[in-house]
Amino acid sequence: MKVNYKEELEKAARQMILIHDAALLNKLILRTIVKNISVKHAGIFLYDRKRNEFIATVSRGEKGLKIPSGFAKINKANPIVRYFIEKDKRIDSDSFLIYRRLLNFLRKNKLKKEKTQLFFYEELKFHLTLLHARACVAGFFREKLVGILFLGRKTNGKALRLEELKFLSALASNVVMAIQSAWLFEDLKTQADKNKTLLLNIVRALATAIEAKDKYTLGHTERVTFYSMVLFEQISATKKILHKERNAMREKLRIASLLHDIGKIGIAEEILNKNGLLNAEERIQVQKHPLLGVEIMRPIEEFKEISEGVKYHHERYDGLGYPNGLKGRKIPLIAAIISVADAYDAMTSQRPYRAALNRQEAMEEIIKQNKKQFHPLVVRAFVKLYKKGRL
């Protein structure tokens, strides 16, 4: 039966972003690989932040090929790790290492004079043989190596096809994002009660992880947070809000604005980074990110009251927004503030498919959308801030 790799990849990505346990994530990943690539065994070397080494946390396959969790470990001096960290391209691309290609490389070069240079590749071959590995795929977060997938022989004895390699590469990218967010959520659970400043720093790190996936929104989160906070201060100066409620709302807004796009972790990178306008199907996928964001945040108790800012920041005052089509004052004020801040930054940012508006043009567009897209209370605050030169 022919595998629909795009469909399987999207299914795996949706499942991964909702899991904040790295060990459980690994099991899901390996099930996905063994099912779709039909290999005899597969495993993951995942970077351990405390030990500063890579540990085979889980493997799956035939009897006799399984490695007990935590039993196998390799450090940064291991040739497999070095191959990827040093971005050796003499055999394969940055993120792949195919065993048969390594054998061909050794066969072609062993008669050359520089035999000492082949020692590293012979050692590489030895370590792959120990793992019964016929391919390795690296997963990077920015320039940092986070994990290495290794795969045994295919059950049919054939070599990996190009479409299978592409599937593994895309899967590795999603794995890294899921593991990175899982680590950050583990840190949140540990530190949430200890230190509010540390909690905020971890939230910022999580927001940075989102931007690493969407190259067109670099700096977007921090700018949206800044605009949201100054809007809130302007609103609270004119609207009667009790001091205690104002402080609580300020903190909720700060974290909600930092995490308003967290659901984009679950959207395919080729859609987020598309060099042009989205088609109807792609827009539907992107419009899922508020609800995905809520699902991602659900396990963290401290985020229950914050999630409404994430869930409803694309609702419109006229009721034509998403995901729930809320109208007017039914839209929480936190979400209404983020909506204006988000739109203002989007309009004043350059995109490959359109030029950025200047600040005056963006302000005029926000006024046009008063009581249509945007809450009038927030629009009034925005205009006052703009006239004061604070936006």
Whole-number Cα distances in Å, 204 to 21, 213, 331, 358, 361: 20, 15, 25, 27, 30
Q: Which of 241, 390, 261, 285 is nearest to 338 (CA)?
A: 261
Q: pLDDT at position 87, please?
A: 77
Helix (H) or strand (E) holding 5: helix 5-17
Domains and CATH numbers, the chain: 5-176 (3.30.450.40), 192-387 (1.10.3210.10)
Strand partners, 138: 148
Cβ neighbours of residue 144 closer than 8 Å, sequence gap 6 or more: 47
pLDDT in tens, 141-190: 777 888 888 888 888 888 888 788 877 877 777 777 777 777 777 766 66
Residue 235 near residue 377, CB atoms below 8 Å: yes
Helix (H) or strand (E) holding 225: helix 220-238
DSSP state of 120: H
Q: pLDDT at position 64, please?
A: 44
Q: pLDDT at position 72, please?
A: 77
Q: pLDDT at position 310, please?
A: 94
pLDDT in tens, 84-136: 888 777 776 667 888 998 998 888 877 665 555 688 889 999 999 988 889 89
Helical pair 22-37 and 162-191, crossing angle rounded to 10 deg: 170
Residues of the chain with pLDDT under 50: 64
235-259 as b/e, with b when 16 or more CB fall inside 10 Å?
bbeeeebeeeebeebbebbbbbbbb
**If phi over 0 gives left and psi between -120 and 50 gives alpha, with beta otherwise, what is residue 157?**
left
Q: Is 89 exposed, middle or buried (0-12, 13-18, 19+ CB in 10 A)?
A: exposed
Residue 167 near residue 195, CB atoms below 8 Å: no
Helical pair 5-17 and 162-191, crossing angle rounded to 10 deg: 10
pTM metric for this prediction: 0.60
